[in-house]
Amino acid sequence: MNSQTKLEKVLRQLQELEKLSNEIPLAAEDWLDEWQILIAIILSARTRDEITIPVAKELFKKYRYTEQLANAKISEVREIIRPVNFYKNKSRYIIKCAKQLIEKYSGNVPHDERSLLQLSGVGRKTMNVFLAEIGKNAIGVDTHVSYISQKLDWTKNSNPKKIEQDLKQLFPEKYWKQINSCLVRFGKTYTSRKQKNKILECIKKMK
């Protein structure tokens, strides 16, 4: 298969994934400020979006500004975010992250990779999901992206960073920012026990 044919195939597959996906709210979306987007993504790690979203709403209702979160009592933050996994660690992360934003960036979230990765609670996946959400060309690799990319033969790697590089080589840059949200929605659409084989059936038809 030549490069042009392969590109046409993966773009068709991406389009099919979008068509087969339900409009499911994701934790990174629909926040007013960039710091809220970032904090919501940190909270969403290893936690379902349907749990993260109401928790984040409650958190931002109490702490409306970065300064307020930076000065929050950790016990109060823990109580609010208790439903998310690893809430004790995440409480420390998000308070420290808010403090870093105030001290280093006047409350704004930096847009460069090096600065983002130095923020508390921010790893490569969180960084890329954030960048994609604000319109930058980036690919956040989580469990959905990893699993579906391997099943579609977009990558043979299991390491998230290597998967990210494979996808960047495979897709034109203008498509990068839609890959995570598309594959996550597809994966979440077919995660119930009743539909546990549906995702593989859909993927098999796309090959």
Give me the active site residues, please: 125
Evaluate whether 111 touches 136 at the Cβ level (below 8 Å): yes
Evaluate whether 34 touches 134 at the Cβ level (below 8 Å): yes
Cα R_g (the chain), whole angstroms:
18
Secondary-structure percent of the chain, ordered helix, strand, coil, rounded to 5: 65, 0, 35
Residue 173 to residue 178: CA distance in whole angstroms:
10
Torsion of CA 168, 169, 172, 174, to 10 degrees: 10
Residue 155: phi and psi, rounded to 5, are -155, 155
Residue 21: phi and psi, rounded to 5, are -95, 145
Residue 161 to residue 203: CA distance in whole angstroms:
23
Residue 106 to residue 98: CA distance in whole angstroms:
10
